[in-house]
């Protein structure tokens, strides 16, 4: 990195910028080498200034929520990571059935808050370790609910620091897909439209969901489902029937508890996980002729410069 850029970053964004920051600690899989620049904006204004600088210096970036659906390379990232983990992006406001929240609000918080008000629609979020913005981008869902069904509005900054607001009709959602995922922007806030239910029934549903997750999910570090489910058959069944449950590669293992999850047994590298992903894809393709598509975002060391 240019010395002058490093100086600008460290002066202008003092306390919010970290150079050569290891990424492993920011992801649920606990793997990933250093990012050239790691930035935690505390406000929309500082995010906007940072984006202007990235544009000026032609530096590519990725936005990070809670890191529960990403796999970084062991070599890290040549570019910038923008982490939306500051308190400034963690506010929740409720007005009648509409819940507005910052990008970095945790789904467990959203589910807890809406449950306490008897608002229905966020029950599925209980136990998903992601943020509201991460859930929008991947259209997170479970138990017949998903993010796209309750979205009302998304506020963002684009790469030129322009504020862009999307109403629900501007957005397309399908299974684990949101049209915003292909846009170069940073989500800063989201509004959800929920249904008024009652506290008892919403709480009962949340408890049911939490219990089902506890039964099905491994305890070791993981990123949830590794592959999307093909239309015809769940991915875990294909993996199981290919004899891959519990398969181990280096420090990575196909979970014994849920074969569509890969766990880090402690010392896994990103390469171990990547290789295991590829082996599963090859074996399932050979046996069933079905190409499994990763649900996690595999982030290469070099991103395209915008
Ligand atoms: C134990 C476990 C259980 C899980 N269960 C489920 C489940 O039931 N259903 C499900 O769908 N998923 C599940 N997941 C996967 C994951 O938690 C969700 O996809 C979650 O919504 C990701 O949120 P995140 O904040 O961690 O996103 P990250 O992993 O940080 O990022 C995911 C994507 O969103 C982008 N992104 C994040 N924030 C922003 C932003 N502010 N602006 C623009 N882009 C952004 C990132 O660039 C990346 O492309 C599970 C994961 C784990 C570990």
Show Cβ contacts of residue 7 under 8 Å, excluding neighbours closer than 6 positions: none
With bands split at pLDDT 50, 70 and 90, how would you rate the model's confidence at 15? confident
Q: What is the mean pLDDT of residues 84-99?
A: 98
The verdict on 76 and 51 lying in the same domain is yes
The verdict on 227 and 158 lying in the same domain is no
The verdict on 211 and 224 lying in the same domain is no
DSSP H stretches of helix in 57-181: 107-116, 132-137, 147-150
Q: What is the mean pLDDT of residues 84-96?
A: 98
CA 2–ligand 1 middle distance (angstroms): 32
Show Cβ contacts of residue 62 under 8 Å, excluding neighbours closer than 6 positions: 77, 79, 80, 81, 82, 299, 303
**pLDDT greater than 60 at residue 306:** no
Task: Give CA–CA dist 236/241, Å, rounded.
Answer: 8
pLDDT tens digits for range 219-278:
999 999 999 999 999 999 999 999 999 999 999 999 999 999 999 999 999 999 999 999
**Residues whose beta carbon lies within 6 Å of some atom of ligand 1:** 28, 62-70, 84, 103, 128-131, 133-135, 137-138, 140-142, 186-187, 217, 222-224, 297
The verdict on 211 and 101 lying in the same domain is yes
Q: What is the mean pLDDT of residues 201-217?
A: 96
Q: Which atom of ligand 1 is nearest to 62's Cα?
A: 47
Last residue of a domain, one of 215, 235, 260: 215
The two tokens of residue 170 are 């501007």
The pTM is what? 0.97
Which of 48, 77, 138, 209 is the best mutation target for the ligand 1 pocket, counting ligand atoms within 8 Å of the beta carbon and taking the most? 138
Which of 77, 134, 228 is the best mutation target for the ligand 1 pocket, counting ligand atoms within 8 Å of the beta carbon and taking the most? 134
**Predicted local distance difference test score (pLDDT) of residue 304:** 73
Which of 68, 155, 164 is the best mutation target for the ligand 1 pocket, counting ligand atoms within 8 Å of the beta carbon and taking the most? 68
The verdict on 66 and 105 lying in the same domain is no
CA 24–ligand 1 middle distance (angstroms): 16
Show Cβ contacts of residue 230 under 8 Å, excluding neighbours closer than 6 positions: 238, 290, 292
Q: Supply the residue whose CA is at minimum distance from atom 10 of ligand 1.
A: 140
DSSP H stretches of helix in the chain: 3-12, 44-56, 107-116, 132-137, 147-150, 199-216, 235-241, 270-288
**pLDDT greater than 80 at residue 183:** yes
pLDDT tens digits for range 139-180:
999 999 999 999 999 999 999 999 999 999 999 999 999 999
User: In terms of residue numbers, what domain contains 78?
Assistant: 3-83
Residue 271 burial (CB < 10 Å; 0-12/13-18/19+)? Answer: middle
**Predicted local distance difference test score (pLDDT) of residue 305:** 60
**Predicted local distance difference test score (pLDDT) of residue 242:** 98
Point out the residues that are catalytic: 176, 225, 295
Q: What is the mean pLDDT of residues 190-210?
A: 97
The verdict on 206 and 273 lying in the same domain is no
**Predicted local distance difference test score (pLDDT) of residue 2:** 75
Last residue of a domain, one of 83, 104, 125: 83
Task: Give CA–CA dist 255/248, Å, rounded.
Answer: 9
Q: Supply the residue whose CA is at minimum distance from atom 21 of ligand 1.
A: 135
**pLDDT greater than 90 at residue 207:** yes
Last residue of a domain, one of 26, 52, 83: 83
The verdict on 155 and 262 lying in the same domain is no
How distant, in Å, are the alpha carbons of 22, 53, 135, 195, 219 from that of 146?
32, 35, 9, 14, 24
With bands split at pLDDT 50, 70 and 90, how would you rate the model's confidence at 198? very high
Structural domain includes residue 102: yes
Structural domain includes residue 306: no
Q: What is the mean pLDDT of residues 37-45?
A: 97
Work out the percent of the chain whose per-residue pLDDT is above 90.
96
Which CATH number do you get for residue 146? Answer: 3.30.465.10
The verdict on 97 and 129 lying in the same domain is yes
């Amino acid at each position: 990195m240019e010395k002058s850029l490093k100086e600008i970053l460290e002066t202008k964004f003092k306390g919010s910028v970290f150079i050569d920051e290891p990424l492993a600690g920011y992801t649920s899989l606990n793997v990933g080498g250093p990012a050239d620049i790691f930035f935690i904006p505390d406000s929309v204004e500082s995010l906007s200034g940072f984006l202007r600088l990235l544009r000026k210096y032609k530096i590519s970036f990725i936005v990070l929520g809670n890191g529960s659906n990403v796999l970084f390379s062991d070599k890290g990232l040549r570019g910038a990571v923008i982490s939306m983990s500051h308190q400034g992006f963690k506010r929740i406001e409720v007005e009648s059935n509409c819940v507005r929240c910052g990008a970095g609000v945790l789904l467990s918080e959203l589910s807890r808050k809406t449950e306490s008000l008897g608002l229905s629609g966020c029950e599925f979020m209980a136990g998903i370790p992601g943020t509201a913005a991460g859930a929008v981008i991947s259209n997170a869902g479970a138990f017949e609910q998903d993010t796209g069904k309750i979205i009302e509005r998304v506020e963002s900054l684009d790469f030129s620091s322009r504020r862009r607001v999307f109403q629900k009709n501007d957005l397309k959602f399908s299974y684990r897909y949101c049209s915003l995922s292909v846009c170069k922007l940073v989500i800063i806030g989201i509004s959800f439209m929920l249904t008024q239910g009652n506290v008892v029934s919403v709480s009962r549903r949340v408890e049911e969901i939490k219990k089902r997750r506890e039964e099905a999910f491994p305890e070791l570090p993981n990123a949830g489902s590794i592959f999307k489910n093909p239309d015809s058959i769940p991915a875990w069944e294909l993996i199981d029937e290919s004899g891959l449950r519990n398969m181990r590669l280096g420090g990575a293992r196909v979970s014994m508890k849920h074969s569509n999850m890969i766990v880090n047994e402690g010392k896994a590298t990103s390469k171990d996980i990547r290789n295991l992903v590829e082996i599963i894809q090859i074996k399932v393709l050979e046996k069933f002729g079905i190409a499994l598509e990763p649900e996690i975002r595999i982030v290469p060391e070099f991103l395209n410069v915008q």
